[in-house]
Structure 1
C-alpha cells in the first residue's frame, strides 16, 4: 500500500511537472508567436520601404538612363563629326602624299635615267681602259687637265722632244732657270687588271709577279729616257690616274715603290700631282715677285714722297685753320661786345662822349685788323 501510495504521489508529481512544462512551453510558444508577428510586421514595413526605394531608384535610373542616352547620342554625333573631319583630312593628306610620291617617283625616274647614262659612260670608260692606246690617251688627258688648271700658260709643255729624241708626256718649267720636271702618264693597266681580277691564290700570285715586272720595266724606261743630267730634273713623276690603284700599289707592292724611289722616279696620284703643281705654282709666283722687287721698291719710294708732300700740305692747312680760328674768335668777341653795347643802349645807359668816341675807335681798329687777317688768309689759300 505504501508503495502504491508512493507511486501515486510520484505520478501526481510527474503530472504536475508535465503540466507546468506544458504551460511553460505554451507561454514560450505564445512569446515566440508574438515575436514572429512583430518580425513579420517589421519585414512587411521593410518590404514596403524597399518597394518605395526601388520605385525611387527605378525613377532615378530611368532619368539617368535618359541622360546617358542623350550624352551618348551627343558624343556619337561629336565622334561622327570628328571621324568625318578626320577622314576628310586623311583623304586630303593621302592625296598630298600621293602627289609627293609621284614627284619623288619622277625624281627617281630622272635619277635612274642618270644612272643608266652613267652606266653607259662607265661601259665606255671600261672600253677605253681596255684599249692600250685609248687608255694612254685617258691618262694623258687627265694629267694634262691637272697641269693646265694649276699652272699658267708657258710654265709647261706637252710632248716636247728631248736631246735623246724621246718625247715625255709633260715637262714643267722650274724657277730660277732650273731644268724642267718630267711627268710620265703611262701605266701598265693590263697587268693591274689581271692582278685585281684574279680570284685563285696562285693566279693572283702570278698576276702580281707580272704586274711587278711590268712596273719595274716602265720605271727603268723612265729613269733611262727622261733623267738627263743638266737637261731635266734629277727625278721624274710617274702619274697613276686613280687614287685607289695608287693606294693598293703602296699596300701590296711596297718593294716596287722603294725601287722607284731609288731610281729617282716618284709615283704620284691625281691628288699628289695637284699638290705638287700647287707648290710649283707658289715657287713660280715667289720668283716673279722677287724679279719685280725693284719695281715694288721704286713704287714704295714714290709713295713715300707723296706721303711727305701730303704731310707738308696738311701742316700748312692746319696753320691756316688755326689763323682762321683765331680771327673767328676775335669776330665773336666783337659781336659779343656789340650785343652788350646794344643792350646797354636799349636800357638807356649811355656813356660819356669821350669814352664813346674812344670805344668806337677801338672797335673800328679791330674790324680793320680782322679784315686784314681774312685778306691774308685768302691770299695764302690762293698761293
Structure 2
C-alpha cells in the first residue's frame, strides 16, 4: 500500500510550460505555499503586534503625560479653588460691610423720612384743623350774613342794626361819662351819639341812619338799566341825608364843625368811595365825613388820646403844686441833714478826745505794771506819787 501511495505521488499530475509536475512536487509546492502563507500571516501578525505594542507604549506615555497633566490641573484647580475661596470670603465680607452700611443708611433715611413725614402730617393736621375752624367760621359768617340780609330787608331793622353797631364801637372805647346816645341839642334835634370833648370844646356828632334802601336796590338790580336807576336813587338819597345831617347837627359853638355819618359795612363804604366819589366830596365840603366801622374805631381812638391828653393837662397844676411841696420838703431835709452832719462832726471830735485820754491811761497803766517791787517799792521816793 505504501508503494501504491509512493507511485501515486510520483505520477505526473500537471504539465507546466512543457514540464510535468508530479503529485509529490505539487504536494510539496502546496505545502510550501501554505507554509509561506502562514509565515506571511505570522509576520503580519507580528508586525501588527509590534505596532500595537508601540501604540500601547505611546498610549501609556500619553496616559502618563495625561495623568501628570491631570495632577497639575488638579493642583492648579485646588490653588484656584483656594484663591476663589479667599476672594469669595473677601467679597462676602465686603458685601456684608456694604450691606451693613447700606442698611444703616437706609435705616437712617427711613427714620429721617418718618420724622419728616410725621412733621408734615402734624403740620397738615394743624392746617386741616385751621381749615376746619375757618370753615366753621365761614359757616357762622354765612349765617350772620343771612341774618344781616334779613335785617337789612326791613328799614327799621336796618336803622337799628347800624345804630347798635355804632354804639358798640363807642361804648367799647370810651368811658360812659364821655358820650351820650340820643342826646338832645339846643335846636331839639337828637343825634344818635354825641361825644363830649374836653376843656369845654363843642361835642362831636355821629349819625348812624345811612340810607341803605337805595344801596340794597343797587345790589339786587337785575340789569344795567335797573342798576343805573338804583345808583341815581342812592346818589340822591345820600345827598339829601348829608344835607339833613349838616343842617340838623352842625351847630356853631355847640357841636364840632364836622359830623360823622356811620356806614355799618366795609363793603358799602368801599362801594361808595369807588362809585360815588362826587357824593363823598360834597359831604366833606358840607362838614360830614362818611366813616366805616374801622375808620370810626380809629377816630374813637384819636378822641381817646385827646381825652387822655386833656386829663394830663388838667392834672398838670396839681402835679406842679405837689412838685413844689416836694422841693420844700427836700430843702428842709437838706437843712436837717446838715445839722445832723454838724452833730456827727462834734461827736467825732469828742470821740477823738476820749480816745486820746484812753491811750494816755493805757500807757500810764503799762508804766505802773512795769515797776519792780522792792525797797524802792517799800520806800518810794518823795513826790513820785504826786507826779503820777
Task: Give 1:305 shift.
Answer: 2.8
Per-residue CA deviation, residues 163-220 of structure 1 (Å, 9 max, x unaligned), is 4443211112233434332210121233334445658655544433222112111111
> Which of 144, 155, 159 lines up with 1:132 in the alignment?
155
Secondary structure at the aligned position of 2:190 is classed as: coil
**Residue number in structure 1 paired with 2:275:** 252
Aligned to 1:154: 177
| CA deviation string 1:215-273 (max 9, x = no partner) | 11111111222223444333321112234433443333221111112222122233333
Partners of 1:233 and 1:122 lie apart in 2 by 35
Specify every segment of 5 or more residues in structure 2 that has no aligned partner in the other structure, as ranges. Answer: 1-67, 374-380
Q: Distance in 1 between matches of 2:301 and 2:93?
A: 86
Answer yes or no: is 1:143 the counterpart of 2:166: yes
* 1:175/1:58 CA distance change after superposition, 3 Å: closer
Q: How far apart, in 2, do the equivalents of 1:356 and 1:135 lie?
A: 120
Tell me the TM-score normalized by structure 2: 0.63
CA distance in 1, matches of 2:338, 2:84: 110
Gaps of 5+ in 1: 1-44, 361-383
Larger radius of gyration: 2
Provide the aligned length of Structure 1 versus Structure 2: 317
**Could you say what secondary structure the match of 2:180 adopts?**
strand
Which residue does 1:232 correspond to in 2?
Answer: 255
Task: Write out per-residue CA displacement over residues 107-152 of structure 1, whole angstroms, 9 at most, x where no aligned residue.
Answer: 7656644543343233223322333222222221222122223333
> Residue deviations 1:5-50, cap 9 Å, x none?
xxxxxxxxxxxxxxxxxxxxxxxxxxxxxxxxxxxxxxxx999988
What is the CA-CA distance between 1:274 and the residue it aligns to?
A: 3.1
Q: Kindly report the root-mean-square deviation, in angstroms, between the aligned alpha carbons of the 2 structures.
A: 4.8
Name 1:24's counterpart in structure 2: none
Take 1:342 and 1:51, find their aligned partners in 2: how far apart are those partners?
A: 125
Report whether the alignment pairs 1:316 with 2:316: no
Q: In the aligned structure 2, how far is the partner of 1:295 from the partner of 1:100?
A: 58
Q: Distance in 2 between matches of 1:285 and 1:86?
A: 63
Aligned partner (choices 184, 204, 219) of residue 242 of structure 2: 219
Partner of 1:27: none
Residues 1:285 and 1:62: Cα distance change in structure 2 (over 3 Å)? closer
Verify: 1:188 aligned to 2:211, yes or no.
yes
Aligned-partner Cα distance in 2 for 1:115–1:143: 24
Matches within 5 A, 1:293-332: 294-332=317-355
- How far the C-alpha of 1:103 sits from its partner, in A, is 8.2
- State the alpha-carbon separation in 1 of the partners of residues 354 and 345 from structure 2: 14
**Partner SS state of residue 331, structure 2:** helix
Distance 2:385 2:344 in 1: 34
Structure with the bigger percentage of helix: 1
Aligned positions of 1:34-113 closer than 5 A: 53=76, 55-69=78-92, 72=95, 112-113=135-136
- Normalising by structure 1, we get a TM-score of 0.63
Deviation at 1:71, TM superposition (A): 6.0
Residue in structure 2 matched with residue 271 of structure 1 by the alignment: 294
Name the residue aligned to 2:8: none
CA distance in 2 between counterparts of 1:51 and 1:173 reads 120
